[in-house]
């Protein structure tokens, strides 16, 4: 068994963003030489997330609006009593999740129809990273 690790760095221009990182994960897979195994894609920050879904702009807007309804931006979070102002970003990260595992079959990411992997930023405009850890043979 072998493993391959790569880091993706992000510094978004906006506080919130959804970035399709499927091409970067596929590139890492090619570099790894792994044909059968798993790809772990994990946001390494507590106000960001990673998810798999459709790369359709209306759906991305729906996801953003859904998250805002459940964890709206505002001054009413207990977390803000510590001097922070990003309580909603932490909750949005919990809702989306911070990592996904994608099967690797015959040297390809084994997605279903329309599936893509996304980095979701909820407190951006500063440098953050995602780890890609590919394990297999």
> pLDDT tens across 70-97, in order?
999 999 999 999 999 999 999 999 999 9
55 exposure class (CB count in 10 Å sphere: 0-12, 13-18, 19+): middle
Residue 18's pLDDT band (cuts 50, 70, 90) = very high
Looking at residue 93, what is its pLDDT? 98
* Share of residues in the chain with pLDDT > 70 (%): 100
Q: What are phi and psi of 92, to 5 degrees?
A: -60, -40
Domains in the chain: boundaries: 2-73+84-136
Return the residue matching tokens 């959804």: 18
> pLDDT tens across 20-33, in order?
999 999 999 999 99
Which CATH architecture does the domain made up of 2-73+84-136 adopt? Answer: Sandwich (2.60)
Distances (CA, A) of 80 to 77, 120, 123, 125: 5, 22, 14, 19
This prediction's pTM: 0.97
Residue 73 CB contacts under 8 Å (≥ 6 apart), including other chains: 88
């Amino acid at each position: 068994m072998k493993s391959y690790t790569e880091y993706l760095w992000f510094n978004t221009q906006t506080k919130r963003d959804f970035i399709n990182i499927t091409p970067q994960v596929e590139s890492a897979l090619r570099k790894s030489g792994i044909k059968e195994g798993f790809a772990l894609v994990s946001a390494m920050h507590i106000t960001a997330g990673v998810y798999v879904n459709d790369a359709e702009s209306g759906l991305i807007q729906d996801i953003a609006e859904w998250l805002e309804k459940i964890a709206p931006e505002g001054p009413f979070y207990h977390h803000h009593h510590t001097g922070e102002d990003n309580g909603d970003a932490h909750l949005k990260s919990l809702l989306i999740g911070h990592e996904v595992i994608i099967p690797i079959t015959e040297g390809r990411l084994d997605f279903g129809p329309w599936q893509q992997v996304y980095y979701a930023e909820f407190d951006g405009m500063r440098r953050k990273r995602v780890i890609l850890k590919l394990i297999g043979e």
